[in-house]
Amino acid sequence: MGKVSLEGIEFHAFHGVYSEEKKLGNRFTVDIHVETDFKKAMLEDKLDDTVDYSRLYQIAKAHMQEPVKLLEHLGHRIVQDILASYPGLPKVQITIKKHNPALGGVVNFSVVTVSYPEDYR
């Protein structure tokens, strides 16, 4: 068993509950971690035998372009698409950070982490 990850993927997107978030948008960082059995890929050097991280990026990018209110919902949607592309993955974890959330004070990030299967029990 091994882990394939993308860390620090940055997007400008329009997720949020408040009207100014929907108009101005914000900077977001996404981290994706998936556990998979890539023993065959280690031995045979074939992309089809592992999780293609360019596919993970495309899934995240597509969802970041579709505004939602809650980061929890966004994380869930990304997890579901990863599982649809790679059925049988034992673990998927998505962390989404909203930079400088408008909370009336200095806050670097608001952060949501969605993990499969933990958050799906």
The set of catalytic residues is 98
- For the beta carbon of residue 5, count every other beta carbon within 10 angstroms: 13
| Sheet strands side by side (includes 2-13) | 2-13, 26-36, 91-99, 109-116
Residues 98 and 30: their CA atoms lie apart, in Å, by 9
| Token pair recorded at residue 32 | 């994706």
| Token pair recorded at residue 62 | 């597509």
**Who contacts 2 (Cβ-Cβ below 8 Å, separation ≥6)?**
35, 36, 37, 38, 39
